[in-house]
């Protein structure tokens, strides 16, 4: 979520229940470690834009980018999407 909200400045987003400021700082540090954000300016990098294209967590998106030179990226992408869909369908079945 954080990567997709960066252009709008997350701290100005009208959340119904705002996240803890320390959680936002932790997410920011994580995105810097994943090379999704420039360390000094906090600007979104090319890697960060590529990561935002995947509908998965930033850590998983970064892993996919690391293997994107091969066919494995497509396989892992579909595997991740299938796992999310399976988890969602199981949750709906238990409600």
Residue for token pair 């979104």: 44
pTM over 0.75: no
Q: Are 80 and 56 in contact (CB under 8 A)?
A: yes
Read off the tokens for 7: 């252009």
Using the structure block, give the residue that is written with the tokens 């932790």: 26
Domains, the chain, ordered by start: 2-93 (1.20.120)
- Residue pLDDT, tens place only, 14-29: 889 888 889 888 999 9
pLDDT at residue 5 above 90? no
Per-residue model confidence as pLDDT tens digits over 38-83: 988 888 999 999 999 888 999 999 988 887 656 666 777 788 889 8
In sequence order, the 6+-apart residues with CB closer than 8 A to the CB of 55 are: 81, 84
Q: Would you say 36 and 58 are in contact if contact means Cβ atoms under 8 Å apart? A: yes
> Among candidates 39, 42, 41, 60, which has minimal Cα distance to 51?
60
> Is the per-residue pLDDT at 2 higher than 90?
no
């Amino acid at each position: 979520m954080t990567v997709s909200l960066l252009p709008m400045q997350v701290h100005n987003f009208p959340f119904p229940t705002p996240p803890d400021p320390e959680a936002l700082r932790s997410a920011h540090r994580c995105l810097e470690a994943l090379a999704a954000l420039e360390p000094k300016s906090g600007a979104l990098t090319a890697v960060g834009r590529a990561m935002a294209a995947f509908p998965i967590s930033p850590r998983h998106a970064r892993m996919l980018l690391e293997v994107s030179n091969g066919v494995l990226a497509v396989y892992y992408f579909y595997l991740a999407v299938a796992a999310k869909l399976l988890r969602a369908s199981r949750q709906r079945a238990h409600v």
